[in-house]
Amino acid sequence: MSFISLLWVLLLGSLLGLELIGKVPPTLHTPLMSGANAISGITMLAALTLIVKAEGNLPLLIIGSVSLGFALFNVVGGFFVTDRMLAMFSRKPSNKK
């Protein structure tokens, strides 16, 4: 992948992010922040790459593994906690209507 095309990817990704959130009701600010936060744990892929390419280099394996741990803490915790919050919202209207 050439650097220029990676830059394109960066640009288009940013534009997409700017477009995605137009009008958010205040109710959802907290869950949205927490959900987006979980997605930022996507660095787990970088950590995985590091471990796979470490080729038996022990310090690198350890760094990669710790990094993966931090990222997954972010991802798993983030999605779970967001789900817990959102469960409280979705419960009510479905019971009533």
Q: Provide, rounded to whole angstroms, the least separation between the CB of residue 8 and another protein.
A: 10
81, amino acid identity: V
Q: Provide, rounded to whole angstroms, the least separation between the CB of residue 11 and another protein.
A: 8
Tokens 């741990």 locate to: 69
**What whole-number distance in Å separates Cα of residue 7 and Cα of residue 15?**
12
Q: Provide, rounded to whole angstroms, the least separation between the CB of residue 97 and another protein.
A: 9
Q: Which of residues 17-76 bind another protein (CB under 8 A)?
A: 17-18, 20-57, 59-76
**What whole-number distance in Å separates Cα of residue 53 and Cα of residue 10?**
24
Size of the site for another protein (CB under 8 A): 87
**What whole-number distance in Å separates Cα of residue 17 and Cα of residue 11?**
10
